[in-house]
Structure 1
């Protein structure tokens, strides 16, 4: 519930680092929607989409660190695959299980649809008289521990899209996940399962509004777990997350997070790179104070703060010696600058 509420807040977005992987997916969506006639046209569309993403990122306090798309992981590979997929795209082949149907005037791309008396709304990437499709820049590596939960989230999204399409026009027969590499995951649409998913979503919305009306504390709206917290972009401002991090039984996340106190600062000599020494809490502080190399252009400038300032670090990585390392996606925050969550009203 808490993540759903935060996702509607523009103020919360100020404390969220977005993912270039998602931006590549946005560019891929636009290519597939435009159906470019040749590679040159596709390249223009791609560059335009990425340019719009960069323009928006340049005004965001965290996202502006990603100003060079050529340095994004897998950028050139996804770009080439997306362009090739868009140029050769056309109606996906109909399987033997799909009956031929006449074209519908409700076929569309990213068209806003509503269902359940307006309680559900969404923009399917593409739908037609046979299928509903979700485009992704890439699918997770099956060997990644959280891959199954990510793909399950895609299928849940498509079940909701199927309800939106079904209540607006006619029910699709097939749901598809299409990646820029050309890989396609496909499932038959089970109307009973889709309706159950939609009913659960509406019930969850109702429960969330009731909880807000009763004045629940934000931590009571959260459901912390290793996977839910590991995939959540609101770690930095979530009280429930930091309460769990303080517990000895809380599992180590794939991207570690820690809080602690600023001990000292080495301002560096090149105007960008500098180092802070932190005394961290919990498991990360067991070995004593540790140094963290940071860049002003990426992680912000903490050099004006004095000893004793409270710090939160999210989306870090782990060095071989078990200490934290700050990468391009690591965020470092001063606790006294972070907002406090106050739950009121209804969504």
Structure 2
């Protein structure tokens, strides 16, 4: 699962000389999630292992819906009333965790999450109707090797690979998702393949702990189920690649590599990266590439004017942006304190970074619920440490 109920605040970052620092160290082990990051960019993977970096990441309510769906399916409710209570309790836990996070707290109203009611309705129906066959009985395994589990921490490859399969029994391993991508979407195939890659690693974790599952499944809240036979050689090869990636990343860090050496910037690698705001390599790449076309644009500039607003929430800053995003002249950007934070105290001339913005029809940027805006002097510095 991509998100657990515990979310750390940016205040957890160590503050040195007035600015927070994020210490990046070699990782003790890899996981399906870390391997997915590492396949795109070693710096992105390294940042994902740094606890302090979590406070600078805007998490996705879509992932939270997947978490709630998994909790619901694990509970195996007997009727709709029980299913509703389990769902609502899971959502309440996620909201409580996100309320202390400087960025995630903007999502305090789940009713405004994309597709919330549809996913809730489908998830409850799937849980009650039973889209999965009954769980296999727990069989004797010497008292040490579980043949069935939900979110159990498993390790393999001498402890270098770890993960928590959503659910497994002696026949199958299952991954729960709030939704599956529309097959017509250009990136649907690669996203779904990422799910299968995750399940291949889970199969190895289960196989080294108990016995190999025969079937891997992806279950969506809609009731859609994708099934594949477990290909053991392919799973073993995936695990070997994940461990090799871990060793390569740690070796690079051990040799003193920094962000420029670890990063592999590109439109695919950076386009959905949650660490854009704090990644030096990303901003250097943007400047050298004349600010590339990203699905959610990012920009850098200075504040030229501030309108504090009158209602205590909505305000505006006028930014002079670098590169092609600044070609249309100064950009008035409407923001909300409750969503984007308060930049009115930064002062004119302050350097600003905007990430995960949206594009207006006239080609200029606008801010929405997913947009994050930071003053550069508040952003953390990356500190690379050789020792684990």
TM-score bracket for the superposition, by shorter chain length:
over 0.9
Question: Within 2, Cα distance between the matches of 1:108 and 1:66?
Answer: 31
Question: Within 2, Cα distance between the matches of 1:249 and 1:243?
Answer: 10
How far has the Cα of 1:184 moved from its partner?
Answer: 1.3
* Aligned partners of 2:150 and 2:165 also within 8 Å: yes
Measured at CA, do residues 81 and 346 of structure 1 come closer, stay the same or move farther in structure 2, by a change above 3 Å? Answer: farther
TM-score between the two structures when normalised by the length of structure 2: 0.85
Question: Within 1, Cα distance between the matches of 2:69 and 2:289?
Answer: 42
2:161 corresponds to which residue? 120
Unaligned residue ranges in structure 1 (runs of 5+)? 95-99
State yes or no: 1:205 paired with 2:246: yes
SS of match in other structure, 1:108: coil
Runs (4 or more) in structure 1 with deviation over 6 Å come to none
- C-alpha distance after superposition, 1:269-304 (max 9, x if no partner): 111111111111111011111111000110001111
Superposition map of 1:109-148 within 5 A: 109-148=150-189
Question: Within 1, Cα distance between the matches of 2:285 and 2:226?
Answer: 36
State yes or no: 1:271 paired with 2:312: yes
Question: Within 2, Cα distance between the matches of 1:327 and 1:290?
Answer: 15
- C-alpha distance after superposition, 1:45-99 (max 9, x if no partner): 11100001000111000010000001111000000111111112264399xxxxx
State yes or no: 1:40 paired with 2:85: no
SS of match in other structure, 1:268: coil
1:20 corresponds to which residue? 61
RMSD, aligned α-carbons = 1.8
1:52 corresponds to which residue? 93
1:82 corresponds to which residue? 123
1:325 corresponds to which residue? 366
State yes or no: 1:281 paired with 2:322: yes
1:65 corresponds to which residue? 106
How far has the Cα of 1:346 moved from its partner?
Answer: 4.9
* Aligned partners of 2:290 and 2:324 also within 8 Å: no
Superposition map of 1:172-187 within 5 A: 172-187=213-228
- C-alpha distance after superposition, 1:162-213 (max 9, x if no partner): 1001111111111111100011122221111111110011011111111111
How far has the Cα of 1:226 moved from its partner?
Answer: 1.5
* Aligned partners of 1:101 and 1:130 also within 8 Å: no
Measured at CA, do residues 237 and 12 of structure 1 come closer, stay the same or move farther in structure 2, by a change above 3 Å? Answer: same
TM-score between the two structures when normalised by the length of structure 1: 0.94
Higher mean displacement: 243-252 or 111-120:
243-252
1:307 corresponds to which residue? 348
How far has the Cα of 1:141 moved from its partner?
Answer: 2.2
Question: Within 2, Cα distance between the matches of 1:141 and 1:160?
Answer: 25
Higher mean displacement: 2-11 or 194-203:
2-11
1:97 corresponds to which residue? none
Superposition map of 1:232-243 within 5 A: 232-243=273-284
Question: Within 1, Cα distance between the matches of 2:113 and 2:131?
Answer: 29
Corresponding pairs, count: 342
Question: Within 2, Cα distance between the matches of 1:25 and 1:257?
Answer: 27
Unaligned residue ranges in structure 2 (runs of 5+)? 1-41, 141-145
* Aligned partners of 1:248 and 1:282 also within 8 Å: no
SS of match in other structure, 1:86: helix
